[in-house]
């Protein structure tokens, strides 16, 4: 049987080429000919990142790489990973995300689909065309509007959120001065060719981007035991570890390449400054806890899960 | 019959006008947002949220009038080679296929909007529920399907009973809005 | 059945539907759904009938089209075309073939605030034609310069065609707009050369006008402030980064509306006419986009694009030969089909091909727009020619097509140049990045 795996990313982009495609090959190989997972990259089954979830729900694709942030109101619990100063890396964060799901902290939409993998990106920091060292430097800066989780923090910093800027248009928006900067990480800076337009990168970890690989539940249930076993073998915690390791390796590679050109100054806040940043963006965490059911419990469990995942690495 | 048709077309036109008046207002809101951002560094909140949901209705509002007035991009070479009767047969064929198309769309839009209600999808910044907007768009799609039923009946009637021979060449601006 | 065979049958079925007058968007959608269903199943297939239209309707890049349409309609209603025309006339009207050159320059100027070629043609059909006929220009030259100038509506950014291409191929609208600037300037220059060549061979086709005085020139410039401000605000705003393309279009709408009021031309009837025109055009484009995106799903699951790329790249021919063949095919199809339809229908197959050759999709987009511009003035169905013919029944199609010839040759020369030297197109966006 052939399963259709949709990715909105071009086939040469890191996650699709180095993580999802090899995963699909591994599962196909392990199924002893029961399964062929065919990649539909570059949005050939749906260009819009926000649409990927719907593709799986409708059965247009069987499996898809989904960014919950594009479907506000859904997978709400997973947005805990978007909070600042929680996630140190994809390697630690991704297994922690899976643990949260396994322990039943992620519910709702998570139960409606077959979860194959739950991950987070490397944490986002401030990439800008002006020097940003302390929180006060953010005052008056025009920033690409982030999702709801970090929006309040951005405003608390005195920045001006500018909406309607998509990943592919970030670089030109910065170069033309429409925005002064954005929350992002090295991989995205390379993918979206922001390297030539930003001058500074402040490494304070201001939250990460949750990501999922989901499968249509009915489709999964219809498969033979052998096929299910092949999928299960490479899914869950295993997939999270695989994703995290590869994602972080790519970040390191992208950072080295970008920094070798000498056009970007990395600003690493010291202990005192980090405390200032923590305080300045604390409102995001506070609001998240207030606005989400069991917010405090999920938050605390996540802190613990990340610490555990970090300990085992 | 002719009377009903004319009235339906009139209503469809008014709906499209209201929709596009909405677009004018969206443009004004966007401009205000830019002005505030530019002058005071204080943009309006969630302008894109409003735009994306209102746009759905603006576009859906144009579709009944589009079908009522048969303003779609088509290649009408065969009809202009053949005679009046050929053209009428082709009109019926085109109308029937268009009817299938719009009925499929209207039929799928309702569960789509319903699905958005169940999953609770919201806009990015303002957190507005999305489904009511898509429900309204679905209603406009249903209206468009009704319009197309009438257009198809009228085309069939013209084929069987004959009717005013539309000798006028098809309006050149009709098919090429994009150009 | 083999998916590739299904794709072939689907393609043929779509052609048949289009030939029997089924609207192109409708034909693509129905064939797309049926084809997708025969490979994947009806359940998932029919959901495409809602999800794809919905995602187009919520797409703010695509929303730029109705906004620019509204802006163009408002600008025309505000009489901005006459203002540009008078200014161009005061500056170059006294030269040999001055009014024809004026028409070209003014069309380019109006094209910079209007995204539609047909609207540009119709507008200058009203503004420039009486002027030229009155001054003893031969109808073929007069009509030829207006119909050719009209193509500048889509060749000079903003352009609905570029936005449509950008959305369907996921390119940046701004990249296309900036890539179009050098080619657009070339179009104006080539058209002016065409006029001079024509007049060298046929000096009687036009009379010289009088040179405007400095006072008259300043007056014309003063009258044209609306266009100039609109252009500076919209295009200046986009390129300088004060706003995005979508925001620029919105600002353009508001600004041209204010100009309509400021020029004392606002009536409720005018506004209704403008809204009706823009909404009619919008629905057509969206229905075509619905069809195109649904159809591209079918092409994707069938594997037809990958198969074609494999087959063609295996041929012992250089990529550029394939591309030239493709362009000839489009122009040929345009004779009895419709270039826009031909382009949209073949995109899911052609884009992977262009990418596999290592060419730039922005460049290909500009090339496509040039081809479509050529189609707008070539017989038997050149839309610009039809528009003029419907406005001036006394000028026959034959006369207009005769008038088009020098401009058509200029356009083919420009197409060749842009095809052979992609850097002409790609240089400016690379500088702006
Ligand atoms: Na234009
Ligand atoms: Na043509």
Chain C contacts in chain B segment 33-52 (CB below 8 A): 33-34, 38, 48, 51-52
Nearest ligand, CA C161 = 1
Confidence at residue A162, expressed as pLDDT on a 0 to 100 scale: 83
Whether the per-residue pLDDT at B170 is higher than 60: the answer is no
- Residues 63-82 of chain B whose Cβ lies under 8 A from any Cβ of chain A: none
Output the six-digit token pair for A194. 């922001």
Partners of C305 on chain A (C-beta within 8 Å) are 44
A152: nearest CA partner in chain B: B125
Q: Which residues of A are less than 8 Å from B127 in CB distance?
A: 72-73, 148
Residue C276 pLDDT > 70: yes
High-pLDDT (> 90) share of chain A, %: 73
Whole-angstrom Cα distance, residue C356 to residue C421? Answer: 19
Mutate to test the interface with B, among A49, A72, A151 (most CBs of B within 10 A): A72
Q: What is the pLDDT of residues C358-389, one digit of tens each?
A: 899 999 999 999 998 998 888 777 888 888 98
Report which of A306, B65, A161 is spatially closest to residue C282, judged by C-alpha positions: B65
Query: Rounded to the nearest whole angstrom, what is the distance from the C-alpha of residue C174 to the centroid of ligand 1?
Result: 13
Give the separation between CA B71 and CA C20, rounded to whole angstroms.
16
| More confident of the two residues C316 and A136 | A136
B78 touches chain C (CB under 8 A): yes
In contact, A20 and A242? CB cutoff 8 Å: no
What is the Cα–Cα distance from C65 to C281, expressed in whole angstroms?
Answer: 9
Q: Do C250 and B31 touch (CB under 8 A)?
A: yes
Neighbouring chains of A at 3+ CB pairs within 8 Å? B, C
- pLDDT band per the 50, 70, 90 thresholds, residue B174: very low
pLDDT value of residue B165: 54
Helices (H), C202-244: 214-223, 225-231, 237-240
Decide if C98 contacts C208 (C-beta within 8 A): yes
pLDDT at A212 over 70: yes
Confidence of residue B5 (pLDDT cuts 50, 70, 90): confident
Confidence at residue C235, expressed as pLDDT on a 0 to 100 scale: 86
Tell me the pairing of strands A2-6 and A36-40.
parallel
What's the CA gap between C156 and A116, in Å, rounded? 49
CA C108 / ligand 1 centre spacing (Å):
8
- Return the structure tokens found at B81: 């080679």
Interface test with C, best of A12, A42, A44, A170 (most C CBs within 10 A): A44
Which chain residues have CB less than 5 Å from ligand 2, an ion? C 334, 375, 378, 381-382
Summarize pLDDT for A23-79 with one digit per residue, the tens.
Answer: 999 999 999 889 999 998 877 777 778 889 989 999 999 999 999 888 888 899 999
pTM for the complete prediction? 0.87
Q: How far apart are CA A182 and CA A180, in angstroms?
A: 7
- Average pLDDT estimate for C35-61: 91
Interior/surface letters A101-112, b for 16+ CB within 10 angstroms, e for the rest: beeebbeebbee
Nearest to A178 among C47, C48, C241 (CB): C241
Q: How far off is chain B from C360, nearest CA to CA, in Å? A: 23
The set of residues, in sequence order, having a beta carbon less than 8 Å from that of A34 and lying 6+ positions away, is A1, A223, A224, A226, A227, A230
**Secondary structure (3-state) at A193:** coil
Domain range list for chain B:
2-161
Rounded distance from Cα A23 to ligand 2 centre (Å): 49
The Cα–Cα gap between C145 and C137 comes to 11
Say if A72 is an interface residue toward chain B (CB within 8 Å): yes
- When pLDDT is cut at 50, 70 and 90, the band that residue C336 belongs to is low
User: Rounded to the nearest 5°, which phi and psi values hold at A161?
Assistant: -75, 130
Question: Residue B166 pLDDT more than 70?
Answer: no
Distance CA B16, CA B4 (A): 18
Look over chain C and give the mean of its residue pLDDT values, rounded to a whole number: 90
Tell me the residues of chain C between 253 and 282 that have a Cβ less than 8 Å away from chain B: 253-254, 257, 272, 275-276, 278-282
- Point out the least confidently predicted range of A300-309, C202-211, C419-428: C202-211
- Residue, of C29 and C208, whose pLDDT is higher: C29
The C-alpha R_g of chain A, in whole angstroms, comes to: 19
Residue C261: the pLDDT is 95
pLDDT digits (tens, 9 = 90+) for B99-149: 999 999 999 999 999 988 888 888 877 778 999 999 999 999 999 999 999
> Mean of the pLDDT values across residues C322-328?
88
Instruction: Write down the pLDDT at residue B175.
Output: 43
Residues A282 and A149: beta-carbon distance below 8 Å: no
Identify the pLDDT of residue B1. Answer: 62
Give the neighbor-by-neighbor strand order of the sheet with A210-215: A36-40, A2-6, A63-66, A210-215, A114-120
Q: Mind giving me the DSSP string for C318-376? A: -HHHHHHHHHHHHHHHHHHS-HHHHHHHHHHHHHHHHHHTT--HHHHHHHHHHHHHHHT
Structure tokens at A303: 């802190």
* pLDDT band, very low/low/confident/very high, at C29 (cuts 50, 70, 90): very high
Closest ligand by atom to C404 CA: 2
Facing B38 at nearest CB: one of C117, C242, C390: C242
Indicate which ligand has the atom closest to the C-alpha of C383: 2
pLDDT band at C32 (very low <50, low <70, confident <90, very high): very high
Nearest chain C Cα distance for residue A242, angstroms: 28
Residue in A45, A164, A172 nearest the CB of C174: A172
Element (H, E) at A118: strand A114-120
The verdict on A148 touching B (C-beta cutoff 8 Å) is yes
The answer, yes or no, to whether residue C92 has pLDDT greater than 80, is yes
The strand pairing partners of A39, in sequence order, are A5
Among candidates C59, C241, C300 on the partner chain, residue whose Cβ is nearest the Cβ of A45:
C300
Indicate whether B171 pLDDT > 50.
Answer: no
Distance CA C19, CA C397 (A): 24
The whole-angstrom separation of Cα A132 and Cα A267 is 8
What's the complex ipTM?
0.83
| HSE toward the beta carbon, residue C183, CA cutoff 13 A | 40
- Kindly tell me if the per-residue pLDDT of C323 is higher than 60: yes
Give the helix/strand (H/E) hosting A178: none
- Which chain C residues are closer than 8 Å to B33 by Cβ? 247
Tell me how far apart the alpha carbons of residues A28 and A3 are, in angstroms, rounded to a whole number: 10
Ligand nearest to the CA of C385: 2
Q: B126 to chain A: nearest residue by CA?
A: A148
Question: CA nearest A53 in C: which residue?
Answer: C51
All residues of chain B having their beta carbon less than 8 Å from the beta carbon of residue C60 are: 48, 51-52, 55
Which residues, numbered 158 to 197 in chain A, qualify as contacts with chain B under a Cβ-Cβ cut-off of 8 Å? 160-164
Q: Are C100 and C406 in contact (CB under 8 A)?
A: no
User: In this complex, do C50 and B19 lie within 8 Å of one another by their Cβ atoms?
Assistant: no
Asked if B72 lies within 8 A of C24 by C-beta distance, the reply is yes
Q: Is A310 exposed, middle or buried (0-12, 13-18, 19+ CB in 10 A)?
A: middle
The pair of structure tokens assigned to A102 is 């396994």
Name the residue in chain C with its Cα closest to that of A8. C170
Measured between CB atoms, which of C59, C172, C296 is closest to A172? C172
Indicate which ligand has the atom closest to the C-alpha of C375.
Answer: 2
Verify whether the Cβ–Cβ distance A172 to C239 is below 8 Å: no
Angle at C367 between CA C364 and CA C368, to 5 degrees: 85
CA of C135 to the centre of ligand 1 (A): 28
Which positions in chain B touch A74 (Cβ < 8 Å)? 119-121
Question: Which of B51, B121, B127 faces A71 most closely, judged by CB atoms?
Answer: B121
Which whole number is the average pLDDT over B64-71? 90
Distance from CA of A161 to the nearest CA of B (A): 8
Neighbours of chain B (3+ CB pairs under 8 A): A, C
Closest-CA residue to B134 (of B108, B102, B168): B108
What CA–CA distance (Å, rounded) separates C375 from C370?
A: 9
Mean per-residue pLDDT, B90-98:
95
Residue closest to A186 by CA, chosen among A140, A267, A247, A135: A247
Contacts of A59 in chain C (CB under 8 A): 40-41, 43-44, 47
- Three-state DSSP class for residue B125: coil
Q: What pLDDT digit, counting tens, does each position of A104-121 carry?
A: 999 888 999 999 999 999
- Please name the member of A142, A148, A160 whose beta carbon is closest to the beta carbon of B125: A148
Rounded to whole angstroms, how far apart are CA atoms A119 and C409? 58
Mutate to test the interface with C, among A45, A144, A172 (most CBs of C within 10 A): A172
Chain B closest-CA separation from residue C130 CA (Å): 21
What is the tens place of the pLDDT at every residue in C414-425?
999 999 999 999
SS3 state of residue A126 = strand
């Amino acid at each position: 049987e052939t399963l259709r795996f949709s990715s909105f990313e071009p086939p040469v982009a890191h996650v699709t080429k180095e993580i999802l495609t090899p995963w699909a090959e591994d599962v196909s190989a392990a199924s002893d000919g029961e399964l062929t997972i065919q990649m539909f990259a570059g949005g050939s089954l749906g260009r819009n990142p926000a649409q990927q979830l719907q593709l799986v729900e409708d059965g247009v694709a069987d499996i898809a790489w989904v960014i919950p942030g594009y479907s506000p109101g859904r997978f709400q619990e997973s947005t805990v990973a978007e909070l600042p100063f929680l996630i140190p890396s994809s390697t630690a964060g991704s297994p922690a995300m899976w643990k949260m799901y396994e322990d039943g902290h992620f519910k709702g939409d998570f139960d409606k689909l077959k979860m194959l993998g739950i991950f987070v990106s490397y944490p986002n920091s401030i990439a800008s065309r002006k020097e940003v060292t302390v929180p006060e430097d953010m005052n008056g800066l025009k920033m690409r509007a982030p999702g709801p989780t970090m929006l309040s923090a951005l405003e608390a910093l005195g920045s001006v959120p500018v909406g309607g800027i998509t990943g592919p248009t970030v670089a030109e928006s910065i170069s033309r001065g429409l925005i002064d900067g954005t929350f992002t990480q090295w991989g995205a800076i390379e993918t979206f060719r922001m390297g030539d337009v930003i001058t500074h990168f402040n490494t304070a970890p201001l939250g990460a981007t949750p990501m999922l690989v989901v499968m249509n539940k009915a489709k999964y249930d219809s498969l033979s035991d052998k096929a299910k076993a092949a999928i299960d073998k490479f899914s869950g915690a295993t997939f999270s570890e695989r994703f995290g390791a590869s994602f972080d390796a790519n970040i390191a590679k992208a950072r080295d390449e970008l920094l070798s050109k000498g056009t970007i100054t990395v600003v690493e806040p010291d202990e005192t400054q980090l405390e200032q940043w923590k305080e300045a963006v604390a409102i995001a965490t506070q609001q998240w806890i207030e606005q989400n059911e069991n917010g405090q419990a999920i938050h605390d469990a996540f802190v613990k899960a990340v610490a555990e995942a970090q300990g085992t690495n | 019959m002719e009377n009903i048709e004319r009235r339906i077309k009139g209503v469809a036109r008014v709906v499209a006008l209201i929709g596009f008046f909405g677009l004018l207002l969206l443009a004004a809101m966007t401009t205000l947002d830019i002005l505030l951002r530019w002058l005071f560094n204080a943009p309006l909140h969630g302008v894109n949220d409003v735009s994306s949901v209102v746009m759905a209705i603006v576009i859906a509002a144009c579709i009944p009038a589009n079908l009522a007035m048969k303003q779609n991009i088509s290649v009408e070479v065969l009809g202009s080679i053949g005679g009046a009767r050929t053209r009428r047969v082709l009109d019926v064929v085109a109308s029937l296929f268009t009817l299938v198309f719009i009925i499929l769309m209207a039929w799928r839009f309702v569960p789509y909007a319903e699905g958005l209600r169940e999953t609770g999808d919201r806009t990015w910044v303002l957190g507005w529920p999305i489904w009511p907007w898509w429900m309204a768009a679905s209603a406009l799609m249903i209206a468009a399907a009704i319009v197309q039923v009438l257009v198809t009946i009228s085309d069939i009637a013209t084929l069987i009973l004959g009717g005013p021979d539309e000798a006028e060449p098809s309006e050149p601006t009709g098919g090429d809005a994009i150009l | 059945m083999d998916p590739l065979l299904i794709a072939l049958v689907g393609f043929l079925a779509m052609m048949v539907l289009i030939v029997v007058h089924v609207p192109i968007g409708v034909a693509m959608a129905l064939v797309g759904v049926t084809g997708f269903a025969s490979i994947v199943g009806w359940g998932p297939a029919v959901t495409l009938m809602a999800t794809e239209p919905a995602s187009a309707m919520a797409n703010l890049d695509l929303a730029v089209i109705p906004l620019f349409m509204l802006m163009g309609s408002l600008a025309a209603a505000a009489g901005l075309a006459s203002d540009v025309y008078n200014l161009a006339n005061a500056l170059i009207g006294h030269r040999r073939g001055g009014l024809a050159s004026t028409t070209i320059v003014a069309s380019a100027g109006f094209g910079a605030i209007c995204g539609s070629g047909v609207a540009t043609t119709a507008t200058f059909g009203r503004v420039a034609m009486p002027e030229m006929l009155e001054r003893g220009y031969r109808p073929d030259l007069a009509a030829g310069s207006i119909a050719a100038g009209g193509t500048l509506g889509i060749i000079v950014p903003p352009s609905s065609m570029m936005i449509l291409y950008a959305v369907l191929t996921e390119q940046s609208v701004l990249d296309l707009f900036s890539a179009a600037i050098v080619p657009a300037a070339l179009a104006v220059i080539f058209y002016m050369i065409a006029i001079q060549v024509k007049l060298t061979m046929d000096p009687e086709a036009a009379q010289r006008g009088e040179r405007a005085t400095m006072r008259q020139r300043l007056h014309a410039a003063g009258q044209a402030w609306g266009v100039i401000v609109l252009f500076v605000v919209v295009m200046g705003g986009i390129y300088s980064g004060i706003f995005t393309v979508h925001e620029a279009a919105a600002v353009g709408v508001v600004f041209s509306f204010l100009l309509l009021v400021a020029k004392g031309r606002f009536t409720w009837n005018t506004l209704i006419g403008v809204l009706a025109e823009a909404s009619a055009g919008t629905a057509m484009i969206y229905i075509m986009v619905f069809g195109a995106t649904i159809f591209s799903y079918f092409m994707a699951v069938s594997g037809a694009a990958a198969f074609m790329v494999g087959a063609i790249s295996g041929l012992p021919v250089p990529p550029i030969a394939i591309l030239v063949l493709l362009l000839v095919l489009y122009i040929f199809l345009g004779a009895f089909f419709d270039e826009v339809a031909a382009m949209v229908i073949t995109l899911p197959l052609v884009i992977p091909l262009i990418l596999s050759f290592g060419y730039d999709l922005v460049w290909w987009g500009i090339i496509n727009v040039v081809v479509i511009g050529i189609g707008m003035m070539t017989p038997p169905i050149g839309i610009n020619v039809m528009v003029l013919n419907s406005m001036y029944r006394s000028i026959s199609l034959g006369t207009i097509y005769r008038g088009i010839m020098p401009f058509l040759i200029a356009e083919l020369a420009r197409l060749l140049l842009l095809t052979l030297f992609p850097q002409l197109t790609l240089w400016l966006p690379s500088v702006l990045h």
